[in-house]
Amino acid sequence: MLEVLHSLANQSTPLRHGVVFLFNGAEENILQASHGFITQHPWAKQVRAFINLEAAGVGGKEVVFQTGPENPWLVQAYVHAAKHPFASVVGQEVFQSGIIPSDTDFRIYRDFGNIPGIDLAFIENGFIYHTKYDTADRILTDSIQRAGDNILAVLRYLVMSDKLADSSEYRHGNMVFFDLLGVVVVAYPSRVGTILNYIVATATFLYLAKKASRPGNGDLACATGVAVLSWFVTLLSVLIVALLVTLLGRSMFWYNHFYASICLYGAAATGKMILIHTLAKNLYYGVSGLGDLYFDVSLLLWCCGLVWLTHQGLCSAYVPMLMVAFPLATRLLLAKEFKHRGKHSTQLYLQWMFIHRQI
């Protein structure tokens, strides 16, 4: 914050809007300082938007995990200005659902000041955060530089924005937003996302209905049951492993030995999933057509999730939408390719089905 303040104060171009830098404490004591500022300070009534800096870990990428409410222009400002974007509406909806037992000053500014904003936080190495090991030397300078680059760029964009003068005029719905490998952020209005989701779902159901009407196709309903059963057994296996780890007195093992826990729980999950599908193949299906059948099962399950999340009005529905749209489009395009090039396209198709199945 001090470096951003220094940079803004020394730039030659005058700012169109003022910036208030609030260094407040008492956060752990029910967010008292931010509440005092937004309800009692005379400057509070002049604030049109805010950027809240948080931490739930030590370093790493700072993620945008809350925006709004209903001010898509703020998301667009981050999209246009951030040099190293890292954002997901999934984080926003998970955090605001109350599943995570935590809170930030974002809620105070939003609920008591009716001010839109952006909430950013460091999230890596959370096992150190708020412990005796949470010392200054453990904070990576690269993380601070990255955050500074993003915050300074977004602030410069906002202080020159016409929309900041009267942000109340631009309250029109929520945004679906997510980054692609930290390179670029995709953002579009949630109403557009709803239309897109239902179009993808309709196309998928029509495709599956057409395949099911053909003679000689595999039993999609039974294969779906096997897939769901494999998920249930996998979840049960992971819970049993977690129980054993807890009984051994290592209940937080996964927190500070992340990659070891991935191997431990991943081995249990993968083993049980392979076991269920192997038994189903040997006892019921036989060998032929399994790849094609489970590709359709994957589409069906993701599509059901897509319809449910969209019906609930959740922007996170973009996740199953992507998991349906791209495989389906690839399948249809490759089907046409088969007709022209024959078996030379088969290898690419089988590789894609394998990758999709793993996802």
What residues contact 108, with CB distance under 8 A and at least 6 apart? 31, 34, 35, 38
Within 10 Å of residue 51's Cβ, how many Cβ atoms?
21
φ and ψ at 27, to 5 degrees? -70, -40
Please report how many Cα atoms fall inside a 13 Å half-sphere around the Cα of residue 138, on the Cβ side: 15
Q: Is 162 helix (H, G, I), strand (E, B) or coil?
A: coil
Q: Is 253 helix (H, G, I), strand (E, B) or coil?
A: helix
User: 211: part of which helix (H) or strand (E)?
Assistant: helix 190-212
User: 186: part of which helix (H) or strand (E)?
Assistant: strand 184-189
Q: What is the 3-state secondary structure (H, E, C) of 57-113?
A: CCCCCEEEEEEECCCHHHHHHHHHHCCCCCEEHHHHHHHHCCCCCCCCHHHHHHHHH
What residues contact 90, with CB distance under 8 A and at least 6 apart? 178, 316, 319
CB 130 within 8 A of CB 26: no
Taking phi over 0 as left and psi of -120 to 50 as alpha, with beta for the rest, 130 belongs to left
Query: How many whole angstroms separate alpha carbon 163 and alpha carbon 161?
Result: 5
Taking phi over 0 as left and psi of -120 to 50 as alpha, with beta for the rest, 97 belongs to alpha
Please tell me which residue in 27, 28, 124, 337 is annotated as part of the active site.
Answer: 27
Q: Which residue has the tokens 């926003």?
A: 92
Query: How many whole angstroms separate alpha carbon 87 and alpha carbon 64?
Result: 5
Q: Is 337 one of the annotated active-site residues of the chain?
A: no
Please report how many Cα atoms fall inside a 13 Å half-sphere around the Cα of residue 178, on the Cβ side: 16
| Maximum pairwise Cα distance, the chain | 76
φ and ψ at 55, to 5 degrees? -150, 135
Catalytic residues: 27
